[in-house]
Amino acid sequence: MAAAMPDAVAADAHSVLVPCVNLFHANAWGVPYVAAMTGSRLVLLGPHVDPPTIYAMPRDERGTHAFDVPTIWTNLFRHIDSHDLDPHSDWCPRHVPVGGATMPRFMTERFAACGVCAGQAWDLTETSQLGVMGRLLPKHGTLPIDRRLDVQSKQGRAIWGVELKVVNPGGKSPPARRQSFRSPHGARSMDRETVFQGGSRRNRCRRLVRYRRCRHH
């Protein structure tokens, strides 16, 4: 349910979901259920995960969402360059969640040039299909393109229902930044905004995640 929300996968009855890798992790535990819940059409590639098929399937089936890992996309962009293809005209994806490893900056730029919004997705086996998702906020719409791509390259924010505990190398939580507010049900406090170390082992970039905990006093 959380994965289908607008600031996550953002699927609806007009969507065509195309998982471009085998059905494991998010592509098996999440995408088919998102399709069934929202009425999206689900297109499966079967055993054919070669670049020509991955390019043709979103084109021929008018896919709006494609799910893949950086290695597959890198091979696909090589295929596009070597065959002088035009994905900006051939494709119509609205959103491309990229998981499995950190999405390189050049990949974010290539997707943007194709008119596609790519975002980092992160999860663990223990978190089910999705833990955090990189999506732009309204305030990012006025940023210059370079800064907006910087935001898209970050790991993202926790989706609804996911609670993150962030610790430093010593195993301690960073100092909390707490804001109190009043609600009809009494006083509550919200804390904290910290930095999440996400991505692959080779490239552990600092990635911003907002971690908020609501607690009754």
Q: Domain extents for the chain?
A: 16-158, 179-216
Are 110 and 81 within 8 A, CB to CB?
no
pLDDT in tens, the chain (217 residues): 788 888 888 899 999 999 987 777 677 778 898 999 999 999 998 888 899 998 998 899 999 998 888 888 999 999 999 999 998 888 888 888 888 788 888 888 888 888 888 888 887 766 677 888 888 888 888 888 888 888 888 888 888 878 777 788 888 877 765 443 344 444 444 344 433 444 443 333 333 333 333 333 3
Strand partners, 198: 205
- The strand pair at 41-42 and 16-19 is best described as parallel
State the SS3 of 38-94: HCCEECCCCCCCCHHHHHHHHHHCCCCEEEECHHHHHHHHHHHHHCCCCHHHHCCCC
Is the CATH number of domain 16-158 3.40.50.980? yes
Closest CA to 213 of 180, 183, 184: 180
State the pTM of this model.
0.72
